[in-house]
Amino acid sequence: MPKLTRSGSPAPVLHDPRLNDPAQELVRTGDLAPADLESVLEVLESMRRWRQAERENSEASQRYMRLGASDMRALRMLIAAGNQKLPMTPSAMAGQLGISAASTTKLLDRLERGGHVVRRAHPDDRRSLVIEVTEETRHAARATVGREHARRFDVIAALSPEQRRTVADFFDAMAATAERDAV
């Protein structure tokens, strides 16, 4: 039975190459036994569900904290730096986030206006500033993103060392597929 959308209409199957690439121009399925093909499709479906759940959790955290994706990335980085007692300057943030100094200033202005960060004098260089996350934001992030990360950690920790190695190798190989060919 086909899956249905929220409106009740049939949802298109997104990752079955038998339906989306029947001529096998991109995905060769002919050399797989039917059971192997089904297990590949099962993994792809699991990946789709994971991405969807991750996207929904990320969006919920952003709504809860009233922040955009780049703001959340910046806060995660600032929280990690604070936990490690590493002073984070605006220029270091720009480098870590891969954004310009001007974009970093705008981001920090936005986060400061929202009560998420404070700028303080650098402990070793009074000519520079460090950025710190406010306690309220630290607690809110812990209650959302932190708990989610803890649950993922527990799932991974429950695997055997061999299973973790297999999963890590799988994700490394998947990440390598994201490297785009020159068009």
What CATH number does the domain containing 89 carry? 1.10.10.10
120 assigned to some structural domain: yes
Residue 51 CA to residue 2 CA, distance in Å, equals 20
Q: Is residue 116 part of a domain?
A: yes
In a domain, 93, yes or no: yes
Q: Which of 2-6, 24-28, 168-172 has the lowest mean pLDDT?
A: 2-6
Which of 13-22, 41-50, 68-77, 90-99 is predicted least confidently? Answer: 13-22
Question: Quick one: which of 46, 86, 78, 85 has its CA closest to 145?
Answer: 78
- Positive or negative torsion for Cα 172, 169, 54, 101: negative
**pLDDT tens-place string over residues 115-145:** 999 999 988 888 889 999 999 999 988 888 8
CB contact at 8 A, 132 and 140:
no
The pLDDT assigned to 182 comes to: 46
In a domain, residue 73? The reply is yes
Residue 171 in domain: no
Q: Does residue 175 form part of some domain?
A: no
Q: Which residues form the domain of 132?
A: 69-140
- HSE-CB for 37 with a 13 A CA cutoff: 13
Beta bridge partners of 120: 130
Quote the pLDDT of residue 148. 86
H-helix segments, the chain: 17-20, 34-65, 69-83, 90-97, 101-113, 135-141, 147-157, 161-177
Instruction: Report if residue 19 sits inside a domain.
Output: no
Average pLDDT, the chain: 87
The dihedral region occupied by 38, where left means phi > 0, alpha psi between -120 and 50, and beta the remainder, is alpha
Radius of gyration of the chain (CA): 22
Q: How many domains does the chain have?
A: 1
The larger pLDDT score, comparing residue 1 to residue 22, is at: 22
179 within domain boundaries: no
pLDDT at 147 over 90: no
Q: Rounded to two decimals, what is the model's pTM?
A: 0.67
24: Cβ–Cβ under 8 A, 6 or more apart, which residues?
17, 30
The pLDDT confidence band at residue 5, using thresholds 50, 70 and 90, is low
* Distances from the Cα of 73 to the Cα of 76, 101, 115, 136, 143, angstroms: 5, 16, 16, 17, 16
Contacts of 124 (CB under 8 A, 6+ apart): 87
